[in-house]
Chains A and B, each alone.
Chain A
Amino acid sequence: MPAPIRLRELIRTIRTARTQAEEREMIQKECAAIRSSFREEDNTYRCRNVAKLLYMHMLGYPAHFGQLECFKLIASQKFTDKRIGYLGAMLLLDERQDVHLLMTNCIKNDLNHSTQFVQGLALCTLGCMGSSEMCRDLAGEVEKLLKTSNSYLRKKAALCAVHVIRKVPELMEMFLPATKNLLNEKNHGVLHTSVVLLTEMCERSPDMLAHFRKNEKLVPQLVRILKNLIMSGYSPEHDVSGISDPFLQVRILRLLRILGRNDDDSSEAMNDILAQVATNTETSKNVGNAILYETVLTIMDIKSESGLRVLAINILGRFLLNNDKNIRYVALTSLLKTVQTDHNAVQRHRSTIVDCLKDLDVSIKRRAMELSFALVNGNNIRGMMKELLYFLDSCEPEFKADCASGIFLAAEKYAPSKRWHIDTIMRVLTTAGSYVRDDAVPNLIQLITNSVEMHAYTVQRLYKAILGDYSQQPLVQVAAWCIGEYGDLLVSGQCEEEEPIQVTEDEVLDILESVLISNMSTSVTRGYALTAIMKLSTRFTCTVNRIKKVVSIYGSSIDVELQQRAVEYNALFKKYDHMRSALLERMPVMEKVTTNGPTEIVQTNGETEPAPLETKPPPSGPQPTSQANDLLDLLGGNDITPVIPTAPTSKPSSAGGELLDLLGDINLTGAPAAAPAPASVPQISQPPFLLDGLSSQPLFNDIAAGIPSITAYSKNGLKIEFTFERSNTNPSVTVITIQASNSTELDMTDFVFQAAVPKTFQLQLLSPSSSIVPAFNTGTITQVIKVLNPQKQQLRMRIKLTYNHKGSAMQDLAEVNNFPPQSWQ
Chain B
Amino acid sequence: MIKFFLMVNKQGQTRLSKYYEHVDINKRTLLETEVIKSCLSRSNEQCSFIEYKDFKLIYRQYAALFIVVGVNDTENEMAIYEFIHNFVEVLDEYFSRVS
Tell whether A and B belong to one assembly.
Answer: yes
Q: Mark B67-83, 1 if CB is under 8 A from A, else 0.
A: 00000000011110111
Contacts of B61 in A (CB 8 A): none
Least CB distance, A370 to chain B, in whole angstroms: 12
Residue contact B46 to A360, C-beta cutoff 8 Å: yes
Query: In residues 22-78 of chain B, which contact A (Cβ within 8 Å)?
Result: 22, 25-26, 28-29, 43, 45-51, 76-78
- Which of B28, B47, B50 lies at the interface centre, i.e. has the most chain A CB atoms within 10 A of its CB? B47
A697 to B71, CA, bound (A): 72
Task: State the CA gap A621–B50 with chains docked (Å).
Answer: 46
A694-735: CB near B (< 8 Å → 1, else 0) gives: 000000000000000000000000000000000000000000
Check if A363 sits within 8 Å of B82, measured CB to CB: no
B interface footprint on A256-300 (CB within 8 Å = 1, 0 otherwise)? 000000000000000000000000000000110110011001000
B50 vs chain A, min Cβ distance (A): 7
Are B14 and A290 in contact, with the CB atoms below 8 A? no
B17 and A96 form a contact (CB under 8 A)? no
Provide the bound-state CA to CA distance between A361 and B77, in Å.
17
Residues of A within 8 A of B79 (CB): 246-247, 250, 290, 293-294
Whether, in the assembled complex, A58 has its beta carbon less than 8 Å from a beta carbon of chain B, the answer is yes
Inter-chain contacts of A59 with B (CB < 8 A): 14
Q: Which residues of A contact B28 (CB under 8 A)?
A: 60
The contact of A294 among B17, B22, B76, B81, by CB within 8 Å, is B76
Measured between alpha carbons, how far is A360 from B83 in the docked complex, in Å?
26
In contact, A363 and B47 (Cβ under 8 angstroms) = yes
Residues of B within 8 A of A330 (CB): 49, 77-78
Q: Within 8 Å of chain B (Cβ to Cβ): is A364?
A: yes
* A326 in contact (CB, < 8 A): yes
* Residue pair B14, A326 in contact (C-beta under 8 Å): no
How far in angstroms is the closest Cβ of chain B from A499? 45
A327 to B48, CA, bound (A): 10
CA distance A185 to B82 in the complex (A): 25
Among residues of B, the one whose C-beta sits closest to the C-beta of A64 is B25
**Interface contact B78-A293, CB-CB below 8 Å:** yes
Q: Mark A767-783, 1 if CB is under 8 A from B, else 0.
A: 00000000000000000
Contact B51 A58 (CB under 8 A): no
The CA-CA distance from A62 to B45 in the complex, in Å, is 39
Provide the residues of chain A in CB contact with B45, threshold 8 Å. 325, 360-361
> Do B76 and A362 touch (CB < 8 A)?
no
Q: Is the CB of B49 within 8 A of A94?
A: no
Given the known inter-chain contacts A59-B14, A240-B86, A361-B45, please indicate yes or no for A326 contacting B50, CB distance below 8 A: no
Partner of A58, one of B14, B78, B81, B86: B14
**Residue pair B46, A362 in contact (C-beta under 8 Å):** yes
Contacts of B43 in A (CB 8 A): 360
A60-B29, A94-B22 known; A290 and B17 CB under 8 Å?
no
B49 touching A290, Cβ below 8 Å: no
Say whether A289 contacts B46, CB under 8 Å.
no
Contacts of A327 in B (CB 8 A): 78
A326 B83 Cβ-Cβ under 8 A: no
Q: Which residue of B lies closest to A59 (CB)?
A: B14
Q: Is the interface of A mostly helix, strand, loop or mixed?
A: helix
State whether B29 touches A58 (Cβ < 8 A). no
* A246 and chain B: residue at smallest CB distance: B82
Q: Is the CB of A363 within 8 A of B49?
A: yes
B49–A326 CB distance below 8 A: yes
Residue from A240, A250, A329 within 8 A of B49 (CB atoms) = A329
Q: Which of B1-35 contact A (CB under 8 A)?
A: 14, 16-17, 22, 25-26, 28-29
- A250 pairs with B46, CB closer than 8 A: no
A46 part of interface (Cβ distance < 8 Å)? no
Q: Chain B contacts of A254 at CB under 8 A?
A: 76
Question: Which A332-385 residues have a C-beta within 8 angstroms of B?
Answer: 360-364
List of B residues within 8 angstroms of A60 by Cβ: 14, 25-26, 28-29
Residue of A nearest to B16 (CB): A58
Within the complex, the shortest CB–CB distance from B37 to chain A, in Å, comes to 14
Contact call A326/B78, Cβ cutoff below 8 A: yes
User: Which A residues are CB-close (under 8 A) to B78?
Assistant: 286, 289-290, 293, 326-327, 330
Q: How far is the CA of A327 from the CA of B78 in the complex (A)?
A: 8
Q: Which residues of B contact A293 (CB under 8 A)?
A: 76, 78-79
Contact status B76-A325, CB under 8 Å = no
Shortest B97–chain A CB gap in Å is 14
Is A328's beta carbon under 8 Å from chain B?
yes
- Which of the residues A57, A94, A290, A328 comes within 8 Å of B81, measured between beta carbons? A290
Whether A240 pairs with B82 at a CB distance below 8 angstroms is: yes
Give B86's nearest chain A residue, CB to CB: A240
Docked complex Cα distance between A363 and B82 (Å): 20
Q: Please give me the residue from chain A that is nearest to B9 by CB atom.
A: A15
A363, chain B: closest CB distance, angstroms: 6
Mark contacts of A42-70 with chain B using CB atoms, 8 A cut-off: 1 yes-contact digit, 0 otherwise: 00000000000000011110100000000
On whether the beta carbons of A361 and B47 are closer than 8 Å, the reply is: yes
Give CA–CA (A266, B71) in the complex, Å: 29
A59 CA to B33 CA in the complex, in Å? Answer: 12
A58 engages B17 (CB within 8 Å)? yes
Nearest chain B CB to A22 CB, angstrom units: 13
Are B82 and A361 within 8 A (Cβ)?
no
Q: Is the CB of A62 within 8 A of B82?
A: no
**Contact flags (1/0) for A63-98 with B, using CB distance below 8 Å?**
000000000000000000000000000000010100
For B51, the chain A residues whose CB sits under 8 A away are 363
A60 and B14 alpha carbons, distance in the complex (Å): 9
* A286 and B25 form a contact (CB under 8 A): no
Given contacts A240-B86, A290-B82, contact A364 B47 (CB under 8 A): yes
User: Do the beta carbons of A62 and B49 come within 8 Å of each other?
Assistant: no
Residue numbers in B under 8 Å from A326 (CB-CB): 47-49, 77-78, 81
* A94 to chain B: closest residue by CB: B22
Known: A58-B14, A250-B76, A286-B81. A329 touches B47 (CB 8 A): yes
A290 to B25, CA, bound (A): 34
Once the chains are docked, how many angstroms separate the CA of A294 from the CA of B47?
A: 18
Contact present for B83 and A247 (CB under 8 Å): yes
Would B25 and A62 count as touching, CB distance under 8 A? yes
- Kindly state the separation between the CA atoms of A514 and B49 in the bound complex, as whole angstroms: 48
What chain B residues lie within 8 Å of A62 (beta carbons)?
25
Closest-by-CB residue of A relative to B32 is A60
Rounded to whole Å, the gap between the CB of A593 and the closest CB of chain B is 35
Report chain B residues within 8 Å CB of A287: 82
Contacts of B16 in A (CB 8 A): 58
Question: How far is it, in angstroms, between the C-alpha of A325 and the C-alpha of B46 when the chains are bound?
Answer: 6
Residues of A within 8 A of B17 (CB): 58
Contacts of A289 in B (CB 8 A): 78
Give bound CA distance, A247 to B16, whole Å: 23
Report the Cα distance A60→B22, complex, angstroms. Answer: 14
Report B89 CB to chain A, min CB distance, Å.
Answer: 9
- CB-based nearest B residue for A90: B18
Q: How far is the CB of B24 from chain A (nearest CB, A)?
A: 10
Instruction: Give chain B nearest CB distance to A357 CB in angstroms.
Output: 15
Kindly report which residue of chain A lies nearest to residue B26, judged by CB atoms.
Answer: A60
A96, B51: Cα distance in complex, Å: 30
Sample (23) of A-B pairs whose CB atoms are under 8 Å apart = A58-B14, A59-B14, A96-B22, A240-B86, A247-B86, A250-B76, A254-B76, A290-B78, A290-B79, A293-B76, A293-B78, A293-B79, A294-B76, A325-B47, A325-B48, A326-B78, A326-B81, A329-B47, A330-B78, A360-B45, A360-B46, A362-B46, A363-B51
> Which 9 pairs show the lowest CB-CB distances between chains A and B?
A325-B47, A290-B78, A361-B46, A60-B29, A329-B47, A290-B79, A250-B79, A326-B47, A294-B76
Given contacts A60-B26, A328-B47, A361-B46, 20 further A-B contacts (CB under 8 A): A57-B25, A58-B17, A60-B25, A62-B25, A240-B86, A246-B79, A247-B83, A286-B81, A286-B82, A289-B78, A290-B76, A290-B78, A293-B76, A294-B76, A297-B76, A360-B45, A360-B46, A361-B45, A363-B50, A363-B51
Interface of B with A (CB < 8 Å)?
Answer: 14, 16-17, 22, 25-26, 28-29, 43, 45-51, 76-79, 81-83, 86
